[in-house]
Structure 1
Amino acid sequence: MNKFLLIAVTTLLSMTIANAKTTVCYKKDWNSPSTIETTSLDGGECASKYSIKQMKDMGWNVLDIKIDSSENNLSYQYLLTNDAINTNSTQEVKVASNTNNQLSFKAIGAKIVDVKDNKTTIDIGNLIIGQSGIVIHIYDNDKRLIVANAEVIESNETSSVVKFSEFKDIKQDAIPTSNRTVQKDDILVLNYLYTASLLIAPNLETFQTVRGSFKYNNFLHSDIFATKLKIDNMPFLTKKYIQNYAINQNLGTIFLVANQKVNVLDTKTLKILTSYDIAYDTSKTEMPFYTRVTDIEKSNLDIDFNVFTSKENLSYDQYYKQLLGLK
């Protein structure tokens, strides 16, 4: 059974749009939501040449999004305008660094010189415990194979220790697997996919501020995540559910706003890598997070009423502080 979601921005924002040109762009049967904003769309001014990101760079704004889900594919339809959108917002939200940890979202490469007890030491210091990456083996014909996941477990000023684990991200029976393990001269790539991110925020203003403050990150829109929650009947999240979704969408980092902070988590390790102060109005929060998708309900067959009621009574901050184990 197809599930159809109509997400109307106009019902949520107070807009002033006069004498504006509009256009409709679409993409049918797309199975990679994390790349939709950088994929060329069909129709209208997009004309199979421009993505949503490129349209925004050219001065277009999204008025409306329609998402139609069928089996494992999603179809998107965007209504855009070339006029400015006035949200009549007076709240000022600022992001400021809250930690001395210097997290870089850029990929870091290093050649592996030795492997002992499934670990290696690299001559790169001041990394953050919990940073992750992958190990790539390059064959003579320049073909490449990901052979392992990697996680930073120790770091000082001059070097870091990295531990390897099985790479399980791609789960396809039709794709052959390899028994190859990490060897000398393989390539370690840390911060793999760190600029592809999931953002969980309490309201529209905070959502927009975080996206605007991390311009080099490609954030999967919360509406796409919420669509999955609606299909799965998941009104309340778990860390494992968030992690599995982010891994399936090839997202390397999770930005979770809670307790007046932007907490940046590594998708693979679920470690909080760093955090930034952010001010937002706790009386204006949405559960489970900001989204224009409504009526995300749990299946009646799966309800544990005691657990459901206890979670339902938590505020946004209380819920995510509990989820992340924050104090």
Structure 2
Amino acid sequence: MGRYLILFLSLFFVGFANSMSQPIISVDGDKATIKIDNIDVGMSGFVVKHLNKEHSIILKNAVVSGFDKKTKIATLKLSDYDALKQNSLPSGKWKVSVGDEVVLAFGYSRALLIAPNEEIYHRITKALPTLEWVHPDLFATVLSFNGHPTPLKEDFNNMCSISSAGLLYFYIHENLFTLDCKSMTILQITKAPLKQESLQLPFYSRVEQINANWFGSGSSKLKAYDPYYYELLVKNNPKNKELYDLIKNKEQKLSSLLDDFDMKDEK
């Protein structure tokens, strides 16, 4: 199983190792489109306006919200770019327009892995040696600064921004989930039945204690690994049929999460 996992993950990583860029062909409010041979819904990036041959500026965040395989047209959801905040500098009045460049899958060579123990963490990271891994100690330090022993979505988003990580991995009950680090959309679910003999909460790190706020979301210590991270995945992927089927076949204690899906007629 170990060799299969390494081969499968390596083949998957090859397809997402490099960023890709395409010009915008249409803009309508907070939506834009590009033409591209293939792209996964949920991939994130940003819009660049080239002012001249030597100067350019990042205008917006961009997340792929839809892709038509027949027309090869991808629809992008645009939002304010917040990775590099500098309140002392003017923001400018440039708007996204046709011809601006969209860069997607930026930072997919860097990743953060959430794992239940040290052994599983090392087995998965060694399976993908070409990835530059952001150590969970750094994330635990960020959580301690924020006072969140239980990591929230905004904590993951913050960590992705400050570490320039493009991919986020969760190992949960014999499955490895690959997510876009900004949108937290599932890109791949890989069956990985690794033996788990111990559990560290909220995830494996060498940080002994994460400081907590007096109250508020994330201030309580995480009590259960699998249910919490499954809930986090469902909240950010309510239309993912593969995730729905996976949870449906799990233990009865996870059945309440099925109500959070938006599967409509697919149920």
TM-score (norm 1): 0.63
Give the SS at the match of 2:64: strand
Residue 166 of structure 1 corresponds to 80
Do the aligned partners of 1:93 and 1:280 also contact (CA within 8 Å) in 2? no
Displacement of 1:145 after TM fit? 0.4
Residue 36 of structure 2 corresponds to 124
Matches of 1:135 and 1:110, distance apart in 2: 10
Structure 1 unaligned spans of 5+: 1-90
Displacement of 1:278 after TM fit? 1.7
Pick which of 141-150 and 290-299 moved more.
290-299
Matches of 1:303 and 1:268, distance apart in 2: 23
Residue 302 of structure 1 corresponds to 215
Residue 317 of structure 1 corresponds to 226
For 2:128, the aligned partner's letter is F
Give 1:198's match in structure 2, choosing from 89, 93, 112.
Answer: 112
Residue 239 of structure 1 corresponds to 153
Residue 293 of structure 1 corresponds to 207
TM-score (norm 2): 0.75
Matches of 1:264 and 1:251, distance apart in 2: 13
Alpha carbons of structure 1 residues 171 and 281: separation in structure 2 relative to 1, 3 Å:
same
For 1:220, the aligned partner's letter is V
Alpha carbons of structure 1 residues 94 and 285: separation in structure 2 relative to 1, 3 Å:
farther
Alpha carbons of structure 1 residues 143 and 233: separation in structure 2 relative to 1, 3 Å:
same
Residue 73 of structure 1 corresponds to none
Displacement of 1:92 after TM fit? 5.4
Asked if 1:186 corresponds to 2:186, the answer is no
Asked if 1:230 corresponds to 2:144, the answer is yes
Do the aligned partners of 2:40 and 2:67 also contact (CA within 8 Å) in 1? yes
Do the aligned partners of 1:254 and 1:265 also contact (CA within 8 Å) in 2? yes
For 1:285, the aligned partner's letter is L
Alpha carbons of structure 1 residues 111 and 323: separation in structure 2 relative to 1, 3 Å:
closer
Residue 77 of structure 1 corresponds to none
Residue 146 of structure 1 corresponds to 58
Displacement of 1:294 after TM fit? 0.4
Give 2:191's match in structure 1, choosing from 273, 277, 280.
Answer: 277
Alpha carbons of structure 1 residues 195 and 234: separation in structure 2 relative to 1, 3 Å:
same
Deviations 1:270-312 (A, max 9, x none): 211112222233441211111111022424x3389xx947x42
Give the SS at the match of 1:115: strand
Matches of 1:211 and 1:235, distance apart in 2: 24
Structure 2 unaligned spans of 5+: 235-242, 248-267
Alpha carbons of structure 1 residues 319 and 116: separation in structure 2 relative to 1, 3 Å:
closer
Do the aligned partners of 2:58 and 2:81 also contact (CA within 8 Å) in 1? yes
Instruction: Kindly name which structure, 1 or 2, has the bigger radius of gyration based on alpha carbons.
Output: 1
Q: Work out the number of aligned pairs and report it.
A: 230
Matches of 1:177 and 1:222, distance apart in 2: 33
Do the aligned partners of 2:120 and 2:196 also contact (CA within 8 Å) in 1? no
Do the aligned partners of 1:150 and 1:162 also contact (CA within 8 Å) in 2? yes
Aligned CA-pair RMSD:
2.8
Give the SS at the match of 2:121: helix
Displacement of 1:171 after TM fit? 1.9
